Structure 1
């Protein structure tokens, strides 16, 4: 298998789902908020074993991040702890 490095244009989570993301692909991604790097990640480490799947790698990882669920998604935990919770008022905190 020949290695192909691709760089993509910038996409917004508010535009999710994004059909430009291949349904099966390995890669590295960076998540930004304005000019601030929030998170870097990778997905699809075992892509050779998972070529048969309909969706695997970047698309499933980014979908998980875009869901916003804290359970099982480290990116969402980071965003909650570093960005969201510091802006929540003491009155709102129990609702979080």
Structure 2
């Protein structure tokens, strides 16, 4: 993030939502950066089979000096994961993928 001069980095791939605040400032002067794994809309791997997304709030007063000035809210919602699992079972994909949808892993 430092090399890219990025203060907020949103990413995925692991399907496990989290928000980590990093202080990359020099001694006596904080510079807060936010690393946000947005989770997974339809294939979560955190034990919760609901879909998920992130609501990120950055307002005019947000500052790298205040770690609380960027708000990250993880939103979960129900979806028909059973229907998706059955579609997987009816496809050429391994049935294990269907079970992963049911279990959220």
TM over 0.5, yes or no?
A: no
Higher strand residue share: 2
Higher helix residue share: 1
TM-score, scaled to structure 1: 0.31
